Chain A
Amino acid sequence: TQLLEQSPQFLSIQEGENLTVYCNSSSVFSSLQWYRQEPGEGPVLLVTVVTGGEVKKLKRLTFQFGDARKDSSLHITAAQPGDTGLYLCAGTRGKLIFGQGTTLQVKP
């Protein structure tokens, strides 16, 4: 069983479209992190959300932590081909536990 469920698992969109990726759990986390991984490389930390209801922006990326600290979302505005990659959410249980990831493909 997966402690963190991400949806969708795969997403293929055209350049300029908007998208949202979801990360859900039945458990409360003290914090959630989002990582992006490119083929052949390790994940790179994008953001950490700590407070319930918190919203953080990173250029065209908006991250939200649910009020109950059980879920999070990542919204990308006007996606670009450079956004292509595997997006992973992760929560802490003494160590980081990862969701199964969302593979995003942005076509020019």
Chain B
Amino acid sequence: NAGVMQNPRHLVRRRGQEARLRCSPVKGHSHVYWYRQLPEEGLKFMVYLQKENIIDESGMPKERFSAEFPKEGPSILRIQQVVRGDSAAYFCASSQGGREDYGYTFGSGTRLTVV
């Protein structure tokens, strides 16, 4: 009964490099959400995926950011050519979906630092 697993917990990248953040949802959950959080702030929605489909990417920056949730394997949030402003905590959540009042289960996050 593992929860949402995110890795790595901490990631340091130099400006211009690529960052790959991984998220394995709760077993049986087919809905995955990515959020970004700056210190002392709430969570900002980025993208909502179901298996092999992007449902809502209204919170994703138009450039450099992409997300996928393949049929097999974890969901990946990819940030190309990182800049200092990308430094933040990135959280993944999963849910059973189907009802709006289902709670989300969050992972412990990946803290990205761009130097």
Contact = CB atoms under 8 A, between A and B. Distances in A.
B101 interface: yes
A42 B101 contact: no
Pick the most buried of B56, B100, B106: most chain A CB atoms within 10 A of its CB: B100
Interface in A57-108: 86, 88, 92, 94-101, 103
Nearest to A2: B42
Interface in B35-62: 35, 40-45, 48, 55-56
Given A98-B43, A99-B42, A45 B56 contact: no
A104 to B, nearest CB: 12
A92 B91 contact: no
B33 A95 contact: yes
A50 B40 contact: no
Interface in B11-69: 33, 35, 40-45, 48, 55-56
B42 A88 contact: yes
Given A30-B100, A48-B101, A50-B101, A97 B45 contact: yes
Interface residues of A, number: 25
A45 B95 CA distance: 12
Contacts of A43: 43, 91, 104, 106
Nearest to B103: A45
Given A43-B43, A97-B45, A101-B41, A92 B100 contact: yes
Interface in A19-40: 30-31, 33, 35, 40
8 contacts: A30-B101, A42-B4, A48-B101, A50-B101, A86-B40, A94-B48, A94-B56, A96-B93
Interface of A: 6, 30-31, 33, 35, 40-45, 48, 50, 86, 88, 92, 94-101, 103
Given A42-B91, A43-B91, 20 more contacts: A30-B100, A31-B100, A35-B106, A40-B108, A40-B109, A42-B4, A42-B108, A43-B104, A45-B105, A48-B101, A86-B40, A88-B43, A92-B101, A95-B33, A96-B93, A96-B104, A98-B44, A100-B41, A101-B41, A103-B40
